[in-house]
Amino acid sequence: MTTVVVSRLIIESLLLFIQTVESLGKLQLRNVRDKINESIRIIGIYISQQKYKIFLIIKYLCVMKKIAIFASGNGSNAEAIVKYFDGREDIKVEIVLSNRSNAAIHEKMGKLGIPSVTFQKEQWNESTTIVELLKEKSIDLIVLAGFLAIIQPAIIKEYTGRIINIHPSLLPRHGGAGMWGIHVHKAVIDAQETESGITIHHVNEAVDGGAIISQHRCEVMASDTPEVLAERVHELEYYHYPRVIESILLQS
């Protein structure tokens, strides 16, 4: 029986008890009724508390937006995203998937209490297992964070408009095959660019070819090495990527 039904039975029993003491004196009857009223008040508080707990459970199940992060490296962006949403009741990182079992991201996620899974090349190529896992986890958004593999068409088809990536340059400059990590920053410096930054974009079949969501810029100094520029770009990534993810999920 539900809490409400049980409580009603209790109240009905108490009211029946009142009828049995009608023969008592007025003072005695008043004392009995006072105790019964206090019992009813306590039961009412209990019912309200249970209703609120049920409300929170329903709110969690209906409103919580879930993120799956795909990553191949040390997981610094993933770590920033997890920490940004830590403790939230509306958005959470549900799982991390990687194509490298020895990637440092697994250790970082373990410390943060986020499950991480390594998939095999065969699983990636056929993609069915991965799509089923994402569906099982009720994933709302796939976030690529240093993921060095081309997203399979089956995943793009299933999650069209719900896969985003971050690239460490101002696309369309210095994007495409082979342009990742330190290679991008070296290309920026070799091209004598005066500014660089990050591009957050949707993912489609073309490498770095999806619609741009936002871009954020930083200056390139004449004295910059690729490593120094990388640190400046990382600061943009850690700040802006979680906030763009938040904006997308709250609008969906």
Domain boundary, last residue among 19, 44, 61: 61
Which is it for strands 195-202 and 212-219: parallel, antiparallel or unpaired?
antiparallel
Domain boundary, last residue among 17, 41, 61: 61
Residue type, 45: I
For 87, the 3-state DSSP assignment is coil
240 is catalytic: no
Same domain, 180 and 241: yes
Alpha-carbon distance of 207 to 189, in angstroms, equals: 22
Alpha-carbon distance of 43 to 55, in angstroms, equals: 18
Same domain, 114 and 233: yes
The predicted pLDDT at position 41 comes to 74
Same domain, 157 and 42: no
Same domain, 20 and 120: no
Same domain, 171 and 214: yes
Alpha-carbon distance of 128 to 13, in angstroms, equals: 58
The predicted pLDDT at position 190 comes to 97
In the structure, what pLDDT confidence band is assigned to residue 20 with cuts at 50, 70 and 90?
Answer: low
- Return the closest-CA partner of residue 110 out of 120, 129, 95, 123: 95
DSSP secondary structure code for residue 224 in this structure: -
The predicted pLDDT at position 204 comes to 96
Backbone angles phi, psi at 55, to 5 degrees: -60, -45
Rounded to the nearest integer, the mean pLDDT of the chain is 88
Q: How far is CA 7 from the centre of its chain?
A: 38
Same domain, 102 and 209: yes
Same domain, 130 and 240: yes
Same domain, 139 and 241: yes
Same domain, 8 and 90: no
In the structure, what pLDDT confidence band is assigned to residue 29 with cuts at 50, 70 and 90?
Answer: low
Same domain, 73 and 18: no
Among residues 167, 174, 185, 240, the one annotated as catalytic is 167
What's the structural domain count of the chain? Answer: 2
Domain of 9?
A: 3-61
Q: What is the CATH number of the domain that holds 173?
A: 3.40.50.170
For 32, the token pair is: 């009995």
Q: Taking the C-alpha atoms of 58, 59, 63 and 68 in order, what is their torsion angle to the nearest 10 degrees?
A: -70
Domain boundary, last residue among 46, 61, 76: 61
Same domain, 23 and 137: no
SS (H, E, C) 44-76: HHHHHHHHHHHHHHHHHHHHCEEEEEEECCCCH
Same domain, 181 and 149: yes
Is pLDDT at 19 greater than 70 in this prediction? no
Alpha-carbon distance of 26 to 110, in angstroms, equals: 67
Query: Can you tell me the mean pLDDT for 114-126?
Result: 93
In the structure, what pLDDT confidence band is assigned to residue 42 with cuts at 50, 70 and 90?
Answer: confident
In the structure, what pLDDT confidence band is assigned to residue 63 with cuts at 50, 70 and 90?
Answer: confident
